[in-house]
Amino acid sequence: MFDPVITPLTRKILEPAVGWLVKRNISADQVTVSGFLIGLLAVPALAYEFYTVALLFILLNRLADGLDGAVARQTQQTDAGGYLDIVLDFIFYSAVVLGFLLAEPAQNAVAAGVLMVTFMGTGSTFLAFAGIAAKRGIENLDYPNKSLHYMGGLTEGFETILAFVLFCLWPQHFVMLAYVFATACWLTALTRLYSGYRTLQ
């Protein structure tokens, strides 16, 4: 929801780091994969309830997610890079939820399962429309620099990061927070389903 407003600000903040990476010939794909591997370290950290450490890995992953696209725009944007980025993002999102499930299986399992199914809803409506939009030449002017059609909604990148931060800060309230976020995500999935279907009709 807030991504179109926040993205220009984050790009300005990240400019020095992007310049540093470009000068050292570090590619966008290298940033993407490195960020993904760092992000996966959050899973064992969460499983052992080192929530502050897990939050650090999550934030580093999200930092890399901002840097890879910026590096690509200054060097070379590729469909392969865009594909790699979005696939690893969705795996990472579910992996974080898995970490909370492993931390407290008896308490968190159902809420974590619901949230994973919810991510399938937001992810499938996003990716399915993006594929058909590319085929039909449909563009989203709110996200002109994305490598694929970016369908917005109530819960986007910023809201997901915020949810993960809250999960780590208040893990004892994970169940309640997960259900709240899942509800918001389902609103996103349903509005994407409706607007996507209407657009393609």
Mind listing the pLDDT tens digit for each residue in 15-58? 878 788 888 888 999 999 999 999 999 999 999 999 999 999 99
Q: What's the confidence (pLDDT) of residue 45?
A: 98
Q: What is the CATH number of the domain that holds 8?
A: 1.20.120.1760
Residues of the domain holding 13: 3-200
Alpha helices (runs of H) in 24-138, residue ranges in sequence order? 28-40, 42-47, 51-74, 79-103, 105-136
Q: What's the confidence (pLDDT) of residue 136?
A: 80
For 122-172, how does the pLDDT look when each residue is reduced to its tens digit (9 = 90+)?
Answer: 999 988 888 888 788 777 655 555 666 666 677 888 899 999 999 999 999
pLDDT tier at 116, thresholds 50, 70, 90: very high
For residues 79 and 82, give the distance between their C-alpha atoms in angstroms, rounded to a whole number.
5
- 65 CB neighbour count, 10 Å cutoff: 20
- When divided into structural domains, the chain yields a total of 1
